[in-house]
Amino acid sequence: MENLKNIYLIIPAGGSGKRMNSPIPKQFIEIDNVPIIIHTLRKFDKIKEINKIIISIAPEITEELKSYIHNFNIITPTYYVANGEFRHISVYNALVSEHCNNADYVLIHDAVRPNISSNLIHNIINSLSQYDSVIPVVPAKDTIKEVDKDNFIIRTLNREILRQVQTPQAFKYDIILKAYNQAITQNAIFTDDSAIAELAGEKVKAILGEESNIKITTTEDLKSIK
């Protein structure tokens, strides 16, 4: 670990509550009187190796988030950049901001994935001593089918070699910045940072994640926060 220097956390937090039929952004939905994004940030606020947090968020709700961070005593230095229309644009805005100037490594984590454990965060950070790109995954439990545009089955995929991807995803800063610079010129939507690294030819190491490390997407998921 001694060779790992500046490790920054990037949180793309530009999502809305549309899929949850929420009148407020879903990261601000409260569980036990605490916004989901604060539940998430608390997990990383305990990790001494993380020197800085950079949050991509809509400018019109930045002050509200700042108030939450102050009121809930998040002590890791936190900075803000404008979000983009898509998740990968929000991440890119953080990567190219002045706040990342001195970054050696970055962790990129979903704002609404609050069940991440300290153990998994440490496993990912420790893996950066050996690998430049690390992501957590869990084995696929269900049989996965590939379908055509009319929803007819094309084939059954081999579940034994399939994995569901989680965050935080961790990268050497120079590598992921170069990959994003290549990807950003393409007219494509990326929902996963490691896909951008793969596109640039980077070899990504997958380590075991946690079944409980889910992304809050539906109202049912709200019951899982711990």
* Residues 145-185: tens digit of each pLDDT: 999 999 999 999 999 999 999 999 999 999 999 999 999 98
**pLDDT (0 to 100) of residue 21:** 63
Q: Around Cβ 11, how many Cβ atoms within 10 Å? A: 29
- 52 contacts 122 by C-beta, under 8 angstroms: no
Domains, the chain, with CATH or none = 7-224 (3.90.550.10)
Ramachandran assignment for 201, one of left (phi > 0), alpha (psi -120 to 50 degrees), beta (any other):
left
**pLDDT (0 to 100) of residue 148:** 97
Residue 1: pLDDT band with limits 50, 70, 90: very low
Q: In the chain, where does DSSP find H-type helix?
A: 36-45, 62-71, 87-95, 118-127, 173-183, 193-199
Mean pLDDT, residues 87-107 taken together: 97
Mean pLDDT, residues 91-118 taken together: 97
Can you tell me the distance from the alpha carbon of 102 to that of 105, in angstroms, rounded to the nearest whole number? Answer: 9
Judged against a pLDDT cut of 60, whether residue 97 lies above it is answered with yes
pTM: 0.93
**pLDDT (0 to 100) of residue 226:** 65
- 149 contacts 221 by C-beta, under 8 angstroms: no
- 40 contacts 111 by C-beta, under 8 angstroms: yes
Which among 148, 145, 171, 172 has a CA at the least distance from the CA of 159?
145
Q: Which two tokens stand for residue 58?
A: 């809509």
Can you tell me the distance from the alpha carbon of 219 to that of 32, in angstroms, rounded to the nearest whole number? Answer: 15
Q: Which residue has the tokens 């965060």?
A: 121
Judged against a pLDDT cut of 70, whether residue 5 lies above it is answered with yes
Which among 175, 189, 90 has a CA at the least distance from the CA of 131?
175
Mean pLDDT, residues 78-91 taken together: 95
Longest dimension (CA), the chain: 53
Can you tell me the distance from the alpha carbon of 25 to that of 49, in angstroms, rounded to the nearest whole number? Answer: 29
Task: Provide the CA 172 distance to its chain's centre, in angstroms.
Answer: 15
Residue 222: pLDDT band with limits 50, 70, 90: confident
Q: Helix (H, G, I), strand (E, B), or coil: what is residue 109?
A: coil
Can you tell me the distance from the alpha carbon of 106 to that of 133, in angstroms, rounded to the nearest whole number? Answer: 10
Can you tell me the distance from the alpha carbon of 137 to that of 208, in angstroms, rounded to the nearest whole number? Answer: 5
The β-bridge partners of 205 are 134
**pLDDT (0 to 100) of residue 16:** 60
87-95 vs 173-183: helix crossing angle, rounded to 10: 130
- 87 contacts 186 by C-beta, under 8 angstroms: no
**pLDDT (0 to 100) of residue 218:** 78
Mean pLDDT, the chain, as a whole number?
93
**pLDDT (0 to 100) of residue 146:** 96
